[in-house]
């Protein structure tokens, strides 16, 4: 069960949009509509930002959106803000009560 | 308010045993799966396994099968992660989190993390 592949880093200026990809296989990302995304600031616990590919928990700004095509899921942050600078991890259900995380992406706000 | 409160940081020697805890409140403990996640220093998140407190049904990630034991005590709404013989490579931050089952496949509420340091 290999980790999902994410870019190591992405960056953007305030107000811009950035997109983070998350590539898996037909056994995880491609096989289920259960991709979630987590934001982690340094020294803090992760926070759920997107679940079931594109659904936002209450309280998460609508600047955050998710999508999926085939074996690749994506998280887009529109109107980038300074507080969005953090690490982001995708996760997918992989069947038989197993899950897998992505490798993580550092988002830098220039 | 849903809360998961984990036990404090631990410093142990290789070969020692350890059990860390995750006490939940604000919801019915037995109706949601609890997941455990490892984060080694400077590294990413890793799924370790999940437990259903109602019947202690437990599923481990292949990488952690046989390395750790998950358990739960319904009477005090607490989940546990146990090692029988720690290794230096177990040094990491460990998080517990709730899975909003039965239809949820994510981790919606997280504990604050327990830092485990294993060093001779």
Assign A78 to helix, strand or coil: coil
pLDDT tens-digit map of B2-45? 999 999 999 999 999 999 999 999 999 999 999 999 999 999 99
pLDDT tens-digit map of A26-85? 999 999 999 999 999 999 999 999 999 999 999 999 999 999 999 999 999 999 999 999
**Distance between CA atoms of residues B62 and B3, nearest Å:** 28
Beta bridge partners of A92: A35, A100
> Quick check: A1 pLDDT over 80?
no
Identify the burial level of B112 via C-beta atoms within 10 angstroms of its C-beta, where 0-12 means exposed, 13-18 middle and 19 or more buried. middle
> Which parts of B26-120 are beta strand (E)?
33-39, 45-52, 57-60, 69-73, 78-83, 92-99, 109-110, 114-118
| Whether A58 contacts chain B with CB within 8 A | no
What are the respective helix, strand and coil percentages of chain B, to the nearest 5?
10, 50, 40
CB B43 within 8 A of CB B26: no
| Whether A105 contacts chain B with CB within 8 A | no
| Whether A100 contacts chain B with CB within 8 A | yes
Contact B108 A96 (CB under 8 A): no
- DSSP assigned state of A2: P
Nearest to A45 among B61, B105, B111 (CB): B111
């Amino acid at each position: 069960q290999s980790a999902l592949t994410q870019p190591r880093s992405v960056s953007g200026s305030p107000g811009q949009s950035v997109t983070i990809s998350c590539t898996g296989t037909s056994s995880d990302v491609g096989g289920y509509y259960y991709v979630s995304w987590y934001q982690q600031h340094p020294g803090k616990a992760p926070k759920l930002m997107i679940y079931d590919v594109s659904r936002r928990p209450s309280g998460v700004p609508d600047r955050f959106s998710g999508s999926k095509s085939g074996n690749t899921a994506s998280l887009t942050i529109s109107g980038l803000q300074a507080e969005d600078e953090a690490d982001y991890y995708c996760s997918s259900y992989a069947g038989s009560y197993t899950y897998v995380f992505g490798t993580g992406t550092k988002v830098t706000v220039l | 308010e849903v809360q998961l409160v984990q036990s404090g940081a631990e410093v142990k020697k290789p070969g020692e045993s350890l059990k860390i805890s995750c006490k939940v409140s604000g919801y019915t403990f037995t109706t949601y799966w609890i997941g455990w996640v490892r984060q080694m220093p400077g590294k990413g998140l890793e799924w370790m396994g999940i437990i259903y407190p109602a019947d202690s049904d437990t599923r481990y990630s292949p990488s952690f099968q046989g390395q750790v034991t998950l358990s739960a005590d319904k009477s005090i709404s607490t989940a546990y992660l146990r090692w029988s013989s720690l290794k230096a490579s177990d040094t990491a931050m460990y998080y517990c989190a709730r899975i909003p089952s039965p239809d949820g496949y994510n981790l919606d509420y997280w504990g604050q993390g327990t830092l485990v340091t294993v060093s001779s």
